[in-house]
């Protein structure tokens, strides 16, 4: 079962996982620097920006998929 799950991870999922991992690393770096209450505010901004990147990436991938489906139906 685990093998099936691992095989089902697409390049889109891998990219999103990578993006979110990068955001987590940035937040961890901020926490280590102990920049006080501002750290939480900055962390939220990092999450928002990274989530926005993920949504844009997903939209582009969905657009490619739609175009390929339309192309096969012509």
**Segments of the chain assigned E as strands:** none
pLDDT at 73 over 80: no
pTM for this entry: 0.54
Q: What residues have CB less than 8 Å from 25, skipping those under 6 apart?
A: none
Top-ranked range on mean pLDDT: pick from 8-12, 18-22, 28-32 = 18-22
Q: 7 falls in which pLDDT band (50, 70, 90)?
A: low
CA–CA distances in Å: residue 56 to residues 6, 16, 25, 26, 49? 24, 11, 21, 20, 11
1 pLDDT more than 50:
no
pLDDT of residue 74: 59
CA triplet 18, 65, 20: central angle to 5 degrees? 15
Per-residue confidence (pLDDT) for residue 41, from 0 to 100: 75
């Amino acid at each position: 079962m685990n093998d099936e799950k691992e095989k089902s991870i697409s390049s889109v999922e891998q990219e999103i996982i990578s993006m979110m991992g990068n955001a987590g690393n940035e937040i961890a770096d901020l926490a280590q620097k102990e920049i006080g209450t501002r750290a939480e505010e900055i962390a939220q901004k990092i999450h928002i920006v990274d989530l926005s990147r993920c949504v844009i990436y997903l939209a582009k991938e969905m657009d490619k998929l739609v175009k390929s489906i339309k192309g096969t139906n012509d």
